[in-house]
A and B are shown apart, each in its own frame.
Chain A
């Protein structure tokens, strides 16, 4: 019965694997690694969300 559950979880991940490949998650295997580096530096330039911040 433990086998049942492990297989159950394994099949979930097979389903996710299929969705992933179909949805084109793996077509470009290099650019995403760079994309996460682009957090928006804008915040430390002039205009940030000042309403919360008390301007020191």
Chain B
């Protein structure tokens, strides 16, 4: 009968979050829930007539089973903290925007926008779906930020409060101004093109148009003025700044072109000799602005730059002299405060242990997975995570002074020394400008003998035609579409100009734990005589009790066996577990530990494989065998590494011990393997690697310990299981599932750089054609009006389609 029970388990899914109900089924008005958490949410919603939540999307909820630490929000009572988090305060109403990663569908948006039904203090709540952000304005008297935060987490939408959020507010929307500028340029471009039509078509009968000519001319100038001063102000300002510093960036030739175009047109209209080139002028700026909008396209949802503050939790429980505990936000911690850090919580500051002993997992810092045992009075570094029983400690260093923060004060992080990415275009522009000025001056002289006004007209014509608008458009559009394609294949890059670094990659550096190896799942194989079903369930129930990562992995491995209640349980860390379960004595642990309990004391000596951690098992003194646990490598890693080895020099730096050494030796050659690397050493390694060979250094890591290396490297990729989870500072975020396509990404980046080069060629060709017209002095407004937009549009089309085609050829999907 029992099996049917399991069977039913399988089909019923939770009404709230849709996950299969494994452990138990909770019933409430004939609906099944996978855990009490989900049921609770259902109750809250149905009480407040919010059941439309369930009919907009089916099973929209987030399972509450798994949210491990229910961080207390009492630090939000402190008005100073609220002051910092809130966007602004006005009398009683407070506006705050909270980032909520769990938003994923229409029902979530609906529920979060009807919060006022749950808490009447909330005046207005609006969701920004793409940013996963909820902006709430509430009345301070009727409700508090803390009660809101608790309400949100009670319905499964826990706000993610980060320390860094405390000090900087999300900037106003920069591209609003850009849109305005684009609007003006577009408006003027259309209108002027309209008014210049008479000049184009009935060019000959100028007299009959005489009356109109002046009227249209004035209108054109009137419309062009705002474009010059408002829309193209960015280009002129940056060009002016560049000239002041003596350097010449791409904006300088553009500004020259703009000014020449404008002045020439005004001169022509006023003197009545021609129609002026106002429409090409406004058109040019219109296309440039489009290029700029495409260029600074970022992913609103992901934030790429973090500093150390964003790793640490926002609050910690402090024990004052009277023994009572309260949570305080960590930047309030002072030396000497006594902290109580619970299981799975991060230690915010370097401190001395006060309780007997504690087990700290430094994987966050060093990447090494085995927990370290610390005795009373020893020093604990910030960033470690407490395993097992909670521990009390007293702070010896301010949060900002602790060991981990030293890492950040390293040169790699200060923004001033931000890697100056000289893009391809910038490098070309100095020669380009000189060439242009040269040609215009020489052609001016050439025409001098034929009359000065002809010379001036040719001089300005060359400047107009030679303006590198196509040049300026090619890189933003190519890289913009490349960015799109990357994002559809799981690689989210911070900005367009970083792509060049990826293209020029010379060497690739890997981190081991979490990058090459699958973070949570491990290969567990049992050696020794066959385990009976009862033994397996025994072992599983015992392992479930201990928090040691290895025992967790064994328990997961034996998950399919039913649980058995465990009576006596004693864990001696780094040694093993002894327990009385169902009347039988079970001993699991390292070989020496288990040997002590065996009746006949015999353990078959087996060659100890270096790269495998081994856990022996004995029941009632009988030695059964041992579990071999090896870090499971991600699929496709072997082919990737073999391929990369041929093209790049690849390295591995890991904080972990070198148990996996020979296993890795097959891929990496001997000297390119580094173990036991502290974050600082990783950073140094990258630095001197950059000095050594010419190519750019690409670093792939996942943990906090790689943060320094990622920042220092030319192209730091942070690997993550799911995008909305937390990643260290980096240039790009890579979805772990598409790690094995890294080589295609690098090739694709290279190819897009080539596309930019081709489009440079194309735009130069345009300029040459234009120049031939200009030098010959035949540059009528009609010709200019055709060449200018045609060159810009063709560049746009060329680059976008070329990127798409290369992506298709390389088997990357283009369409989400």
The interface of chain A, by Cβ under 8 A from chain B, is: 3, 7, 10, 14, 17-18, 21-22, 24, 26-31, 34-35, 37-38, 40-42, 45
Contact = CB atoms under 8 A, between A and B. Distances in A.
A42 B49 contact: yes
Contact of B129 (A14, A18, A27, A30): A30
A49 to B, nearest CB: 15
Contacts of A38: 52, 56, 109-110, 113
The majority secondary structure among interface residues of chain A is helix
B52 A17 contact: no
Contacts of A7: 191
Given A18-B180, A21-B179, A34-B106, A10 B191 contact: yes
A29 B128 CA distance: 9
Contacts of B191: 7, 10
A1 B660 CA distance: 84
A34 B106 CA distance: 6
B179 A26 contact: yes
A42 B49 CA distance: 8
4 cross-chain pairs, A with B, having the tightest CB-CB distances, nearest first? A41-B52, A31-B129, A28-B128, A30-B129
Contacts of A35: 109, 113
B608 interface: no
Contacts of A40: 52
Given A31-B109, A34-B110, 17 more contacts: A14-B183, A14-B187, A17-B183, A18-B180, A21-B180, A24-B176, A26-B176, A29-B130, A31-B130, A35-B109, A38-B52, A38-B56, A38-B109, A40-B52, A41-B52, A42-B49, A42-B52
| Contact residues of B: prevailing secondary structure | helix
B129 to A, nearest CB: 4
Contacts of A31: 109, 126-130
A24 B180 CA distance: 12
Contacts, number: 58
B450 interface: no
Contacts of B106: 34, 37
A31 B133 CA distance: 11
A5 B803 CA distance: 44
B8 interface: no
Contacts of B109: 31, 34-35, 38
Contacts of A45: 49, 51
Contacts of A14: 183-184, 187
**Which of A10, A37, A38, A45: most chain B CB closer than 10 A?**
A38
Contacts of B211: none
B173 interface: yes
B416 interface: no
Interface in B166-223: 173, 176, 179-180, 183-184, 187, 191, 195
Contacts of A26: 176, 179
B606 interface: no
Nearest to B50: A42
15 contacts: A10-B191, A17-B187, A18-B183, A22-B180, A24-B176, A28-B130, A29-B130, A30-B129, A31-B109, A31-B126, A31-B127, A35-B109, A35-B113, A37-B56, A45-B49
B700 to A, nearest CB: 31
Contacts of A29: 130
Nearest to B195: A3
Contacts of A24: 173, 176
A17 B113 CA distance: 27
A41 B180 CA distance: 38
A45 B46 CA distance: 12
B173 A27 contact: yes
B113 to A, nearest CB: 7
Contacts of B52: 38, 40-42
Nearest to A18: B180
B176 A21 contact: yes
Nearest to A6: B194
B7 interface: no
Contacts of A18: 180, 183
B265 to A, nearest CB: 19
Interface string B53-85: 001100000000000000000000000000000
Contacts of B113: 35, 38
A39 B576 CA distance: 60
Given A10-B187, A35-B109, A38-B113, A30 B130 contact: yes
A11 to B, nearest CB: 8
A30 B183 CA distance: 21
Q: Which of A22, A27, A28, A45 has the most CB of B within 10 A?
A: A28
B143 to A, nearest CB: 23
A21 B183 contact: yes
A40 to B, nearest CB: 8
Interface in B15-58: 49, 51-52, 55-56
A7 B190 CA distance: 11
A6 B407 CA distance: 63
A24 B179 CA distance: 11
A21 to B, nearest CB: 5
Contacts of B184: 14
B180 A27 contact: no
A24 B173 CA distance: 9
A41 B55 contact: yes
A38 B56 CA distance: 8
A25 B191 CA distance: 25
Nearest to B56: A37
A21 B675 CA distance: 54
Interface in B122-137: 126-131
Interface in B101-124: 106, 109-110, 113
B129 A34 contact: yes
A27 to B, nearest CB: 5
A17 B185 CA distance: 13
B49 A22 contact: no
Nearest to A46: B49
B193 to A, nearest CB: 13
Contacts of B176: 21-22, 24, 26-27
A34 B132 CA distance: 14
A50 to B, nearest CB: 16
A44 to B, nearest CB: 10
Contacts of A28: 128-131
Interface string B623-647: 0000000000000000000000000
A46 B106 CA distance: 23
B183 to A, nearest CB: 5
B182 to A, nearest CB: 10
Contacts of B187: 10, 14, 17
A42 to B, nearest CB: 6
Nearest to B106: A34
Contacts of B131: 28
Contacts of B183: 14, 17-18, 21
Contacts of A22: 176, 180
Contacts of A42: 49, 52
Nearest to B215: A3
A23 B587 CA distance: 69
A37 to B, nearest CB: 6
A30 to B, nearest CB: 5
A7 B176 CA distance: 25
B561 to A, nearest CB: 45
A41 B187 CA distance: 43
Nearest to A32: B129
A46 B377 CA distance: 65
A10 B188 CA distance: 11
A27 B129 CA distance: 12
